[in-house]
Amino acid sequence: MLQGKVALVTGGAARLGAATVRRLHASGARVLIHYRSSAAAAEALRDELLATRDGCAATIQGDLNEPASWPRLVDAAVDFGGGLDILINNASSYYPTPIGTATIEQWDDLFGSNARAPFFLAQAAADQLRERRGCIVNLVDIYADRPIAEHPVYCMAKAANAMMVKALARDLAPQVRVNGIAPGAALWPDGYMEDAERQAILDRIPLGRPAGADQIAAAVMFMVTGPDYVTGQILAVDGGRSVQQ
């Protein structure tokens, strides 16, 4: 389905990014796996994919808060695959910033990974994507619409990401489609969520379970390979949580 296509997935070494990388690869795409610090995981995933098909995967390290990384990633995709057809803006920082404790450094990090980097990476990739009539998929979040307590900076950054989907869909049309996926509870965050807090979230999900990474990756693939008359849309993959009172 995606034979001959080249995809760049930011934060592609683990979790939702890795699931998306595997889906794109299974559909025939060549995939450039971006990572910041997860070198071992990125290289293991690359080797897993290369064992099935020659030349189908590569890795690139980069700190997306560094402006020089944006054109460098696009250039790497062109060097790797001869062009760029699919940009998946997946990389994201996520942690609480309760009022009274938030810092400028946290603001810069959360807005940097969730809004600034995806925008400027899309801008750097725009000419390639226009030429090849490609697409962009942003990983947004249901919290862009309905904020979670004690995460105001993250929620504001994801709201900016959601508006980016709509603005870029307008400005890059008709050659490039831009859409988003807004996960609900997909994978639990590492390190700081208690069992009772997880259960409280599950109690607010009509389907009563987390999505898991593959459900989100499947939704990303719908935006990549589905109807090509869809642009500027954000699909909630949240088990019905966004309609729960």
Phi, psi angles (nearest 5°) of residue 136 = -125, 135
Per the omega criterion (within 30 degrees of 0), is the bond before 174 cis?
yes
Task: Give me the percent of the chain exceeding a pLDDT of 90.
Answer: 85
> Can you tell me which residue has the tokens 């390979």?
225
Residue 184: what pLDDT?
A: 83
Asked whether residue 1 is domain-assigned, the answer is no
Residue 200: what pLDDT?
A: 76
- List the catalytic residue out of 143, 154, 192, 229: 154
**Domain of 77: which CATH number?**
3.40.50.720
Amino acid at 187: L
Q: Is the pLDDT score of 88 beyond 70?
A: yes
Q: Domain total for the chain?
A: 1
pLDDT tens-digit series, residues 123-143: 999 999 999 999 999 999 999
Whole-prediction pTM value?
0.95
Query: How would you classify residue 27: left for phi > 0, otherwise alpha for psi between -120 and 50, otherwise beta?
Result: alpha
Asked whether residue 24 is domain-assigned, the answer is yes
Task: Give the Cα separation of 81 and 6 in Å (integer).
Answer: 6
Across 182-209, average pLDDT? 74
Residue 212: what pLDDT?
A: 85
Give the chain's mean pLDDT.
94
pLDDT tens-digit series, residues 194-207: 677 777 777 778 88
Look at residue 127 and give its three-state secondary structure: helix
Helix H segments across the chain? 15-26, 39-50, 69-81, 104-111, 117-131, 152-172, 195-202, 213-225
* 35 among known catalytic residues: no
Range of the domain at 50: 6-243
pLDDT tens-digit series, residues 36-62: 999 999 999 999 999 999 999 999 999
